Amino acid sequence: MTIKSQDESRRSAKRKPLTVMVTYRLDGEEYGNLAADISPDGIFIRTFVPPEVGTYLNLTIELPSKSGMLEFDMEGEVVRVVAGDDPKHNGMGIHFTAIHIRDPEIVRQIVAGFIEPD
């Protein structure tokens, strides 16, 4: 069973497979689960017990880069819950509502992506 709050046809960003640990906080508790994919707008996290659609979460994600792993703190809203017969596909779709950058290396890499070498 898939529970959605948004029509999937409205998804505008392409998703990329990604298997990294995502830590999220909800009601004073901290949880860690693996991501399945990511886009510029959100992430799908595998979990057997997802919170309800409309729940807001604080997330920490480490993404691979040329210089190692970069840590991002994000806020997001649960916009889709998948709870079906095959638990390997269960989880939650999170739409990013805020991204907090605390590592200057992240800013350097973003800016370097806009500057082409001579």
- pLDDT at position 77: 97
Q: Residue 2: which of 78, 80, 76, 55 has the closest Cα?
A: 80
- pLDDT at position 84: 86
* Mean pLDDT by groups of 10 residues along the chain of 118 residues: 46 82 93 94 94 96 79 94 88 95 75 62
Give the range of the structural domain holding residue 18, as residue numbers without chain letter.
2-114
- Domains of the chain: total: 1
User: What pTM was estimated for this model as a whole?
Assistant: 0.79
CATH number of the domain enclosing 48: 2.40.10.220
SS (H, E, C) 5-64: CCCHHHCCCCCEECCCEEEEEECCEEEEEEEEEECCCEEEEECCCCCCCCCEEEEEEEEE
